[in-house]
Homo-oligomer: A and B are copies of this chain.
Amino acid sequence: MYLQIYEYIKKEILSGRLSHPEKLPSARALAANLQVSRSTVDTAYEQLVAEGYIDAKEKRGFFVNPITHTQNFTRSQGHISVPDRTLPDQKKMIYDFDPDAIDTLHFPYSVWKSIGRNQLDNPDNFISGDHFGEYGLRLAISSYLHGSRGVNCTPESIIVGAGLDHLLQMLCVLFERKAVIAMEDPGYRNARQVLLSSGYTVQDIPLSQGALDASSLIHSPADICYVTPSHQFPLGSVLSISRRQALLDWAYEKENRYIIEDDHDSEFRYKGKPIPALQSLDHGQRVIYIGTFSKAVSPAIRTGYMVLPAPLLSLYKEKCGSYACPVSRLNQAILTDFIKDGFFEKHLNRMRKIYKAKHDYMLEQLHSHFPDGLLDISADNAGLYIILHYHGPLTDEAIIEQAEKNGIRLRSLKGYYANLPAAYRPAYLLGFANLEEKEIRDGIALLAEKVLIV
């Protein structure tokens, strides 16, 4: 009831029908007039006072405050015309060789769920936590990184964040605004976008023989270098030990030079052992190591981490110490148990076998459908996609279009370049992670018969 009175008077004031310095009827009089209780009017008047529409003057009553009258106060509200939905409305394809996809069929859901159920019962997951990420999670990450990737770290040097985008944004707070950041070209476009949007200048460094060559950095203004040493994204090469040393030497040459090591899918290597992290060779505190659980667990859990060298760690504490960790405590707790109890390691070992089988099968199908001269394959033996280099007469556009007509989505390598080299020839990233053998077989057959016609 009081709300009606409040709304009525508010509208009268905003429309100008009641204006400064008019006096409102006394609460007693209005109550009698409207046949409501005195306290109802009091409440309405109090709310109007609280919001500044009227003033209560002791012993004199209530007066309208000076307020601009808005003609359109009662206009229809709630609709701002903006395009609908944010996900691009992609046509559903029958064969989607998505290089970013992961296998979601073989995840140990029952284990994850059972840990999740336990953690839903843990009241600690409802209170504010450690700004750098829970210590238990950082401990689990640190021992994984040390054991599997050779990374020099302690839980204290790890910061938990929400995926690569977010971690890069946090890093950006630590670098000077005028910093120039060197990136591999072709390279990881999302990271490039984050750096550009954060106001940095990005220097795109063309790769030499598929990998970054530190000698191209020497004459660049860059003092920070973003690199994917264990599995160049997207070309798939390994940065050799001598180039790693040269890159570190470049960093050691000048103060405040840093290398951002994005170790994006180092977990999956199908030949030999994993390539150790570049950070493991750094004895001068110049490598920032970034990794996520997006490929190894799921991108939907939005959890990643960075290992900061000591000088950046101090700076981070000073500048970002008050920022809360963006990952919910529930998620952190589930992930911690998942790693600590050995399920993560077990899952990785299992997925390495499953991905290797899909990888081998895809290569087998490619080799059986295409004659040697028409195609080359690279980026194999690691990661969740291979690259198909096409040497035939068709153009890139014609291939993509023909593929779409046949229900095949292809990702052109072109899209990963900032500056396309003159010698560029059509090439495609073919992901296999979320495809069944049948889909790989039929998709490749269709590709051979209808698209890259053999």
Contact = CB atoms under 8 A, between A and B. Distances in A.
**How many identical subunits does the complex contain?**
2
Nearest to A47: B272
Contacts of A116: 116-117, 120, 330
A328 interface: yes
A35 interface: no
A422 interface: no
Interface stretch (A192-200, A349-357, A359-367, A413-421): A192-200
A46 B135 contact: no
Contacts of A409: none
Contacts of A112: 120
A298 B122 CA distance: 14
A114 to B, nearest CB: 9
B53 A241 contact: yes
Contact of A331 (B82, B153, B331): B331
Contacts of A120: 112-113, 116-117
A438 B276 CA distance: 58
Interface in A272-301: 272-273, 275-276, 280-281, 283, 285, 298-301
Interface in A63-120: 65-68, 70, 72, 75, 77-87, 104, 107, 109, 112-113, 116-117, 120
Interface of A: 3, 6, 43, 46-47, 50-53, 65-68, 70, 72, 75, 77-87, 104, 107, 109, 112-113, 116-117, 120-121, 123, 125-132, 135, 146, 152-154, 156-157, 162-163, 165-166, 169, 173, 177, 189-190, 193-194, 197-199, 238-245, 249, 271-273, 275-276, 280-281, 283, 285, 298-303, 309-310, 313-314, 317, 319-331
9 contacts: A78-B152, A80-B156, A87-B130, A127-B298, A165-B322, A194-B323, A300-B329, A302-B327, A328-B328
For the complex of A and B, the 8 pairs showing the least CB-CB separation, nearest first, are: A52-B240, A162-B326, A47-B272, A300-B329, A86-B132, A52-B241, A197-B319, A165-B323
